[in-house]
Structure 1
Amino acid sequence: MLIHSQIVEFKGEGTSTYGYLAHPKGEGIFPGVVVLQEWWGIDTHIQQVTEHLAQEGFAALAPDLYRGQVATTIEVARHLSQQLDQEQVLQELQQAMRYLEHSPLVQSEKVGGLGFGMGGHLATLLASTGITLGALVILYGDHDNPANITPETSIHDTNAPFLGIYGGQDETRPQEYINELKEKLTSMGTQHQIIIYPHASRSFLNPDRDTYRAEDANDAWQHTVSWLRQHLINTQPPQP
């Protein structure tokens, strides 16, 4: 499927944010997905994720929370992520949602969230604002931080169907954490699916990282697309 990608600007209350937008070429109204970055920024991986979603029939927008900066080392990534103001980030994510909802390309009642690592935490924060999400997909989740709202808490205010994908070797997400998350989702009556890849660690879907695992990554991507399609499109896969 041919796609179009571009940098777009969306404005809010005294702020202006840019993002990487990709969507299928041609006329059509597509379900939207907000893509939340890992702590590296809008790097090649996140751009490719956004483009791959467009190839699957979505209009995908990755807001650039680092204002054009991309980390190439853990030290820089940690610094950039720690500089984020949570209140401002939430405003910018809501602006991204509104941009998609008001875009003539997008079926406004069908917008989902997809978050990787730090972006997984941000996606659950976005859900906690009460904003309507058609689906929520989290890969890995953020490193634990006592100052952060936990995913168990933040997803409490959303009924969005929840898909969580984790690596069995990710020490920040031990089995106890997964069990508690499952119990919380079940008690809330949230439609959910949890997938664990036993031999994978964090960022196993990112081909630019040493933890990349091609087979697990391909399978996880198929589950991600299937979940988004099921809850945002409810149609057969697009023809090439």
Structure 2
Amino acid sequence: MTQESTDKGFAAAAGAVSIHVIRTDAEGLETGFATLPGGAPAYYARPEHGRNLPVVLLAEEIFGLHEHIRDVARRLAKLGLFVIAPDYLARYGDPMTAPDIDAIRAIVAKVPDVETMGVFDEALAFVEGKGGDVDHAAITGFCWGGRIAWLYAAHNPRLAACIPWYGRLDGARTKEQPRWPIDVASEIKVQTLGLYGGDDPSIPYDLILTMKDKLAEAGAPADIILYDQAPHGFFADYRPSYRERDAHDAWGRMVAFLRAQGVG
């Protein structure tokens, strides 16, 4: 009923791939890999014949630029968007071949946030050079990439929208990762929709409420939707954490939000 996650480009540490995994073809799309100026690889997907396409930056999970993230890029591209997913972890190790989650966390801990912000700046410049409309650009990200989405929205207030999916809001402050979304709540000027699970031990319910309060106090144009029974990774259709009903609802909310902000 399952297949090994290393088949077809899934991260080894993610475990066996669920029978519920969604597979999106590339028909009608231009897809490929590129190397950004600083050396980071990136996967992109866009409609074959589109011009001046709205842009979505896609921030990968801790499992790296594996098949789930590439599939999400294709799903978004089929909505008429130019999507680019830079692998901001790759220069510090390969999460796709790491043997377990602890090995992946050791890689992630080495990656400086300031460098990651620069990688996404390079990704925007890349898509602009290929005809993307960076004046109508958004960022979305999952898991660790959800954390990055919050931080990049603070870094780049020109974005039209930000959609973090269950990104950690607080954690240990290090030289490489000195700030967390809870620290930049007052700096969010980008229209933001957070999508979070209420049954996620890595992001406690009280912390989500605190984040909502900080956003409200700052007058930030941001809200967080909470799916009460959903665990961490509820959108990850290749894993046991997947919750189909919540994932479909959240995807629909994201697409509507993007369109409301002129992205799509």
Aligned ranges 1:36-47 → 2 under 5 Å: 36-47=59-70
**Can you list the C-alpha shifts for 1:17-73, whole angstroms capped at 9, x where unaligned?**
220000111132111011001101011111111111101111010001233821463
2:189 is matched with which residue? 159
Match of 2:45 among 1, 10, 22: 22
1:135 is matched with which residue? 161
Distance 1:192 1:177, change over 3 A: same
- Is the 8 Å Cα contact of residues 135 and 160 (structure 1) preserved in structure 2? yes
1:233 alignment partner, SS class: coil
**Structure 2 residues without counterparts, runs of 5 or longer:** 1-26
- CA distance in structure 2 between the aligned counterparts of 1:27 and 1:120, rounded to whole angstroms: 28
> Which deviates further from its counterpart, 141-150 or 215-224?
141-150
Output the amino acid matched with 1:30: L
1:237 is matched with which residue? none
**Structure 1 residues without counterparts, runs of 5 or longer:** 235-240
Output the amino acid matched with 1:6: G
TM-score (norm 2): 0.80
1:122 is matched with which residue? 148
RMSD: 1.9
Deviation at 1:150, TM superposition (A): 2.4
- CA distance in structure 1 between the aligned counterparts of 2:87 and 2:185, rounded to whole angstroms: 23
Output the amino acid matched with 1:40: F
Output the amino acid matched with 1:139: W
2:236 alignment partner, SS class: coil
Output the amino acid matched with 2:110: Q
Aligned ranges 1:25-64 → 2 under 5 Å: 25-64=48-87
1:172 is matched with which residue? 202
Match of 2:124 among 92, 97, 100: 97
TM-score (norm 1): 0.88
1:107 is matched with which residue? 133
Q: How many residues align?
A: 230
Match of 1:196 among 215, 221, 226: 226
- CA distance in structure 2 between the aligned counterparts of 1:29 and 1:207, rounded to whole angstroms: 31
- Pair 1:225-2:252 in alignment: no
